[in-house]
């Protein structure tokens, strides 16, 4: 229990060495080079100032490494948040984003403290695949404007509005911007095949700057569109009221769920690469504290970044010290070199984000699910994807979860079955007689076997007992019914009420109910509701033989 809530850093420092520090420092510097252009690009994609992305990488990167439950996790801004952050900023401003980020951090910390780290696995893959692909498409559409160098007036929030603006302003395309964007994109695609040590995004930024400045191209840069600051962030908490909290709470929950999913997924990937074993609940607490801090210091939502974490492992990072070094290097870069970020061309930023969108889309897995999955899973995937692109990520996740839950309950209800025993005299010649048919059943007794969980989706199965027994009564005088419940692992209140109705009908007809092999959970539900006392403890038997004997005695 104590180790579950102990940061990995505190455990690993016991055997830390100078040689490992050198490896961690090297990995941290390389990861910082990877994170710098990505943090700026993701901030711009989210509709905030460039330095806010770096603030996030610095604060979240340091806190998650210091308090987190993973050896090598690198935290910072990720593409998963770009769409929802942009919507919040457009609708509620920066104050709204700060409040939503802080609330998301509090939710994450509560999730970790309540040991909910393992519950993330219950979110269906079709939902995560659907909204991830949807976010990728939305990011790609949003970046086409800068990639093509279009002149678009006003701010478009909805994807449909962005597409409409692209079509209406396509005549303003800037060939020089397209050239820079295409050249940057080619570097991002092919550079990893030439050199894996130096990040392709860093090379693309350098080449983009040289192209624009060296050839004096008429291309927008970060400096021509934004005012940059090289000052370290200072804490600031906006005025908060109940209306703001109520409005932003759904967004905060969505941010928290996304952060939990992505951070724990990144931990799993990292464990596979470095042979570690992360502490999921401590990781959630660290992510929560990091998001509260980034909100207070003017950053944007953060989570574990799979690409940066993988780069950390590949370059020798083995402890959280690498992530802390990465954050410190970014802070130094912010203070000393941030003014030079003004030279970065916007088409290069767009190319980086188009590559991010392509990598996160998982289109091969998306197509594989469409080809190989049941129709219900395909429905969830397409619905979540469509709602993410056309409407909103919050709506997509809510509808996706509701749809998945309903379909799951439908499947479980179909699994649950009720079957009546056949008797030897009912068997046709040549049929295989199972052992249950060899038991002697009193002439005035019916035996029903129930299989599967009894919950509100399958509660009507109990009422079939009444229908079957009334039909059987026409052939013989039914006085007792045995319910064999050895294969019923669970029962809820709705199913119990249905069973109580069966008892009421049977009592009016003078039929006695006898229960065989009731499992602990259903037994507990019946006992708390007073149903066992109502029926009589003597009607509950440990097995079918005891139940048949009791029926004979009665």
pLDDT of 472 > 80? The answer is no
| Local structure of 391: helix, strand or coil | coil
Residues paired with 304 in a beta bridge: 75
Task: Give the pLDDT score at 198.
Answer: 85
The residue-averaged pLDDT of 105-109 equals 96
- With a cut of 50, say whether residue 430 has pLDDT above it: no
Q: Is the pLDDT of residue 474 over 80?
A: no
Q: Where do the domains of the chain lie?
A: 18-151+174-368, 417-425+436-553
Q: What is the DSSP string of 127-190?
A: HHHHHHHHHHHHHHHHHHHHHHT----S---SHHHHHHHHHHTGGG--HHHHHHHHHHHHHHHH
Per residue in 136-157, pLDDT (tens digit) is: 999 999 999 999 999 888 777 7
pLDDT at res. 425: 43
Q: Of the CATH numbers 1.20.272.10, 2.60.120.380, 3.30.750.24, 3.40.640.10, which one belongs to the domain with range 417-425+436-553?
A: 3.30.750.24
The pLDDT of 197-218, averaged and rounded, is 92
Average pLDDT taken over every residue of the chain: 88
- Asked if pLDDT for residue 181 goes beyond 60, the answer is yes
**359-379 confidence digits (pLDDT tens):** 988 889 899 989 988 898 999
Burial of 540 (0-12, 13-18, 19+ CB in 10 A): buried
pLDDT tens string 30-73: 999 999 999 999 999 999 999 999 999 999 999 999 999 999 99
Q: Nearest to residue 355, comparing CAs of 108, 183, 188?
A: 188
Q: Read off the tokens for 265.
A: 């997924």
Q: 65: how many CB neighbours lie within 10 A of its CB?
A: 31
Whether the per-residue pLDDT at 188 is higher than 90: the answer is yes
The stretch 188-193 carries a mean pLDDT of 92
Q: Is the pLDDT of residue 300 over 90?
A: yes
Instruction: Report how far residue 355's alpha carbon sits from residue 185's, in angstroms, rounded to the nearest whole number.
Output: 7
pLDDT of 439 over the 70 cut: no
% of the chain exceeding 90 in pLDDT: 55
Residue 47 to residue 360: CA distance in whole angstroms: 20
């Amino acid at each position: 229990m104590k180790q579950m809530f102990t940061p990995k850093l505190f455990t690993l420092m016991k055997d830390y060495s100078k040689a490992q520090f050198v490896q961690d420092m090297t990995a941290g510097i390389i990861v910082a080079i990877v994170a710098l252009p990505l943090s700026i690009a993701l901030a711009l994609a989210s509709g905030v100032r460039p330095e806010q992305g770096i603030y996030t990488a610095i604060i979240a990167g340091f806190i998650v490494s210091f308090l987190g439950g993973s050896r090598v996790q690198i935290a910072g801004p990720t593409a998963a948040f770009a769409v929802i952050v942009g919507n919040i900023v457009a609708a509620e401003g920066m104050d709204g984003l700060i409040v939503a980020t802080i609330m998301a951090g509090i939710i994450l910390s509560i999730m970790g403290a309540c040991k909910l780290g393992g519950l993330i696995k219950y979110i269906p893959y079709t939902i995560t695949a659907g909204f991830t692909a949807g976010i990728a498409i939305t990011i790609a559409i949003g970046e086409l404007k800068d990639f093509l160098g279009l002149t678009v007036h006003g701010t478009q929030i909805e994807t449909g509005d962005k597409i409409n603006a692209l079509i209406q302003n396509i005549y303003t395309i800037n060939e020089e911007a397209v050239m820079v964007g295409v050249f940057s994109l080619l570097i991002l695609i092919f550079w990893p095949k030439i050199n894996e040590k130096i990040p392709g995004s860093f090379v693309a930024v350098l080449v983009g700057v040289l192209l624009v400045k060296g050839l004096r191209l008429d291309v927008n840069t970060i400096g021509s569109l934004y005012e940059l600051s090289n000052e370290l962030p200072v804490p600031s908490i906006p005025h908060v009221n109940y209306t703001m909290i109520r409005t932003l709470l759904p967004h905060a929950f969505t941010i928290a769920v996304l952060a939990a999913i992505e951070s724990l997924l990144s931990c799993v990937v990292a464990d596979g690469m470095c042979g570690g074993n992360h502490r999921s609940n401590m990781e959630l607490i660290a992510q929560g504290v990091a998001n509260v801090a980034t909100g207070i210091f003017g950053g944007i939502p953060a989570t574990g970044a799979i690409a940066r974490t993988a780069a950390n492992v590949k370059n020798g990072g083995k402890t959280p010290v690498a992530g802390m070094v990465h954050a410190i290097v970014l802070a130094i870069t912010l203070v000393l070199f941030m003014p030079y970020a003004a030279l970065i061309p916007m088409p290069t930023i767009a190319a980086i984000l188009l590559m991010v969108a392509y990598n996160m889309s998982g289109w091969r897995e998306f197509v594989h699910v469409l080809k190989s999955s049941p129709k219900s899973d395909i429905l969830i995937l397409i619905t979540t994807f469509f709602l993410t692109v056309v409407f909103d990520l919050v709506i997509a996740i809510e509808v996706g979860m509701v749809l998945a839950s309903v379909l799951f309950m439908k499947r479980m209800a179909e699994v649950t079955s009720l079957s009546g025993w056949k008797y030897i005299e009912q068997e046709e010649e040549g049929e295989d007689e199972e052992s249950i048919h060899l038991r002697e059943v009193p002439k005035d007794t019916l035996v029903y076997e129930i299989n599967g969980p009894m919950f509100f989706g399958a509660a009507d199965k109990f009422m079939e007992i009444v229908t079957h027994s009334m039909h059987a009564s026409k052939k013989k005088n039914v006085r007792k019914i045995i319910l064999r419940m050895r294969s019923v692992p669970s029962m809820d209140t709705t199913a119990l009420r249905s069973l109580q109705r069966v008892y009421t009908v049977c009592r009016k007809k003078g039929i006695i109910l006898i229960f065989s092999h009731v499992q602990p959970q259903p037994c507990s539900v019946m006992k708390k509701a007073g149903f066992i006392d109502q029926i009589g403890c003597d009607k509950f038997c440990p097995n079918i033989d005891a139940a048949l004997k009791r029926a004979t005695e009665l």
